[in-house]
Amino acid sequence: MSTLTAGTPIAMKRPIYGWTIHDGLVVARRNLIQTVRVPELLFFSLVQPVIFVLLFAYVFGGAIPVPGDSDPNAYRQYLMPGIFGQTVAFAAASSTVGLAEDMHKGLIDRFRALPMAPPAVLIGRTLADAARQILVLFVLTITGFLVGWRIDNGLLNAIYAYALLLLFAYTVAWIGAWIGLYMPNPETANTAGLVWLFPMTFLSNAFVPLASLPTWLQYIAAWNPISALVLATRELFGNPTGMANDQYWPLQNPQLYTIVSCVVLIAIFSTLSVRRYRRTTSR
Partner 1 sequence: MTSDIAVHAEGLVKHFGEVKALDGIDLTVRKGQVVGLLGPNGAGKTTTVRILSTLLKPTAGTATVAGFDVVKQPDDVRRAIGLTGQYAAVDEYLTGRENLRMFGDLYHLAPKYVKERSAELLEWFDLTDAADRPAKTYSGGMRRRLDLAASLVAHPSILFLDEPTTGLDPRSRLGLWGVIENLVKEGTTVLLTTQYLEEADQLAEDIVVIDHGKVIAHGTSEQLKDEIGGDRVEVTVADSGAVAGAVEALRQVSGADALVEDLRISAPVSGGPVGSQSPTCSCVAPRSMTSSCR
Tell me which residues touch partner 1 (CB under 8 A): 1-14, 19, 22-23, 26-27, 29-30, 33-34, 37-38, 105-116, 120, 281-283
Min separation Cβ 269 and partner 1, Å: 24
Cβ-based nearer residue to partner 1, 119 or 242: 119
Give residues with Cβ within 8 angstroms of 140, minimum separation 6.
49, 50, 53, 80, 83, 84, 87
Q: Of the two residues 110 and 245, which places its CB atom closer to partner 1 in the complex?
A: 110
Closer to partner 1 by Cβ: residue 27 or 206? 27
Kindly state the smallest distance separating residue 111's Cβ from partner 1, in Å. 7
120 or 177, CB closer to partner 1? 120
State the Cα angle at 225 between 221 and 229, rounded to 5°: 105
Provide the minimum distance between the beta carbon of 164 and partner 1 in the complex, in angstroms, as a whole number. 31
Q: Please state the closest distance from residue 50 (CB atom) to partner 1, in A.
A: 25
Contact 209, 243 (CB under 8 A): yes
Alpha-carbon torsion angle 113, 118, 119, 125, nearest 10:
0
Judged by phi (left if over 0) then psi (alpha if -120 to 50, else beta), residue 7 lies in: left
- Nearest in space to 238 (alpha carbons), one of 160, 172, 180: 160
CB closer to partner 1 out of 37 and 215: 37
Min separation Cβ 112 and partner 1, Å: 6
Q: How far is the CB of 251 from partner 1 (least distance, A)?
A: 43
Q: Which is nearer to partner 1, 109 or 152 (CB)?
A: 109
Give CA–CA dist 184/182, Å, rounded: 6
Radius of gyration, alpha carbons of the chain: 21
C-alpha 188/C-alpha 203 separation (Å) is 24
